[in-house]
């Protein structure tokens, strides 16, 4: 139960207690009221037992309630200037690829121009090399540059000693080397032996939110864990596609280099300097639906070229699932006044029998 919900419950409990006290004062006769007080005064064991039970209940509630979770700070990776991937750089690179036909180049050009990408994006290291071959070494170089740069910037902002990091969570949708990326961080920063690590992969664009939700769950229920390092990255090198399958060519046009690191904590002393507080979170999984499961799918084409296929169902599935997610999440974060107003508008529209739609809550 989150802090906002706890406050509302305490307010309702106080109002209920006040109402119950007034009710007793008005309904009970003075003689009965005095007799009740006399019973409690005369029976010290009963009074002491009630008092002890009340204190134990209050102590148990405050001791077991979830701890507040804060975003202490974050940092994003900005590659060096010579890694800028302008439209001209991207055009020159794909034209060097002998596997692309003119028809394929025209398709990729149209996708690129409609994607909204400008000339300030950054590409992976291999496209700036003469041979232009996406190898594992280039993929590791891409991952290490982003991860180490963003973590270094984060540690300089937060002044957190790497020895005080209790948990490391790393997420990378399509790149999962051995040893894992979380082990790479532990080795590079020489973290303490009892550090816990989580390495998430294969979760696509939503993996960043999933990793933050995992960090919040670990922090809210523990008094031993205080600092969680969350790293969200991707390495697109090994998923560069050199075939002519159009759904698989889209990833070449819209994905670029990026990485972010954040420090999540439940330490109350950091409340004043924290950027944000995570009040609530929710995860809904639609993997049981075939169209959602295959909306972004890593596979080989008929010539054996590896890549990630983005189907036409992706936007439709994302919109539908987001709508279902908001239906569950909205009542948990909206103020009571908006929930009552929405319920009233729904009832009024039903009773009126017209085609007017209920008001939409402001999220």
How does strand 196-201 pair with strand 167-172?
parallel
Name the domain count of the chain. Answer: 2
Q: What is the CATH number of the domain that holds 194?
A: 3.40.47.10
Residue 348 DSSP symbol: H
Nearest to 292 by CA among 257, 323, 333: 323
97 and 191 fall within a common domain: yes
For residue 159, being part of any structural domain is answered with yes
pLDDT at residue 73, as a whole number: 94
Residues 231 and 151: beta-carbon distance below 8 Å: yes
Residues 94 and 49: beta-carbon distance below 8 Å: no
DSSP bridge pairs for 196: 167
pLDDT at residue 322, as a whole number: 84
* Residues in Cβ contact with 180 at an 8 Å cutoff, skipping those fewer than 6 apart: 170, 197, 199
Residue 126: give the domain boundaries: 69-285
59 and 74 fall within a common domain: no
Under the banding of pLDDT at 50, 70 and 90, the label for residue 2 is: very low
Under the banding of pLDDT at 50, 70 and 90, the label for residue 180 is: very high
Q: Which of 9-23, 80-94, 139-153 has the lowest mean pLDDT?
A: 9-23
Whether the pLDDT of residue 52 is over 80: the answer is: no
Residues 303 and 99: beta-carbon distance below 8 Å: no
**Cα R_g (the chain), whole angstroms:** 28
For residue 327, being part of any structural domain is answered with no
Query: How many Å apart are CA 237 and CA 292, to the nearest integer?
Result: 25
What mean pLDDT, rounded, does the chain reach?
A: 82
* End position of a domain, from candidates 232, 260, 285: 285
For the stretch 288-291, contacts whose Cβ atoms lie closer than 8 Å and that sit 24 or more positions apart, written own/partner, are 289/317, 291/316, 291/317
* End position of a domain, from candidates 33, 49, 64: 64
pLDDT at residue 23, as a whole number: 55
For residue 355, being part of any structural domain is answered with no
pLDDT tens by residue, 196-239: 999 998 888 888 889 999 999 888 877 788 899 999 998 889 98
Whether the pLDDT of residue 140 is over 60: the answer is: yes
pLDDT at residue 202, as a whole number: 85
9 and 74 fall within a common domain: no
Nearest to 9 by CA among 70, 69, 62, 67: 62
């Amino acid at each position: 139960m989150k802090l906002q919900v706890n406050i509302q419950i305490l307010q309702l409990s106080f109002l209920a207690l006040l109402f119950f006290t007034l009710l007793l004062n008005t309904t009970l006769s003075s003689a009965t009221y005095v007799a009740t007080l006399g019973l409690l005064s005369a029976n010290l064991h009963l009074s002491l037992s009630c008092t002890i039970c009340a204190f134990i209940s209050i102590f148990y509630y405050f001791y077991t309630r979830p701890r507040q979770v804060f975003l202490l700070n974050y940092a994003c990776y900005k590659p060096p200037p010579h890694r800028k991937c302008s439209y001209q750089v991207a055009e020159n690179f794909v034209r060097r690829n002998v596997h692309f036909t003119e028809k394929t180049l025209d398709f990729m050009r149209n996708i690129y121009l409609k994607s909204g990408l400008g000339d300030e994006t950054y590409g992976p290291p291999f496209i700036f090399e003469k041979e232009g071959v996406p190898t594992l070494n280039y993929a590791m170089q891409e991952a290490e540059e982003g991860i180490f740069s963003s973590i270094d910037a984060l540690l300089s902002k937060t002044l957190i000693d790497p020895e005080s990091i209790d948990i490391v969570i790393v997420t990378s949708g399509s790149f999962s080397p051995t040893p894992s990326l979380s082990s790479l961080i532990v080795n590079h920063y020489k973290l303490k032996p009892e550090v816990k690590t989580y390495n998430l992969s294969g979760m696509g664009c939503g993996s960043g939110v999933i990793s933050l939700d995992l960090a919040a769950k670990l922090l809210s229920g523990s008094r031993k864990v205080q600092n969680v390092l969350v790293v969200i990255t991707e390495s697109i090198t090994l998923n560069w596609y050199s075939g002519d399958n159009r759904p698989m060519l889209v990833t070449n046009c819209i994905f670029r280099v990026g990485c972010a690191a954040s420090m999540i904590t439940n330490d109350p002393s950091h409340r004043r300097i924290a950027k944000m507080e995570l009040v609530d979170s929710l995860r809904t999984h639609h993997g049981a639906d075939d169209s959602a499961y295959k909306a972004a799918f890593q596979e080989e084409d008929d010539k054996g070229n590896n890549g990630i296929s983005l189907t036409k169902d992706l936007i439709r599935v994302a919109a539908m699932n987001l709508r279902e997610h908001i239906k569950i999440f909205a009542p948990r974060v909206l103020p009571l006044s908006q929930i009552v107003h929405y319920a009233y508008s729904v009832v009024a529209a039903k009773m009126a029998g017209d085609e007017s739609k209920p008001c939409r809550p402001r999220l």
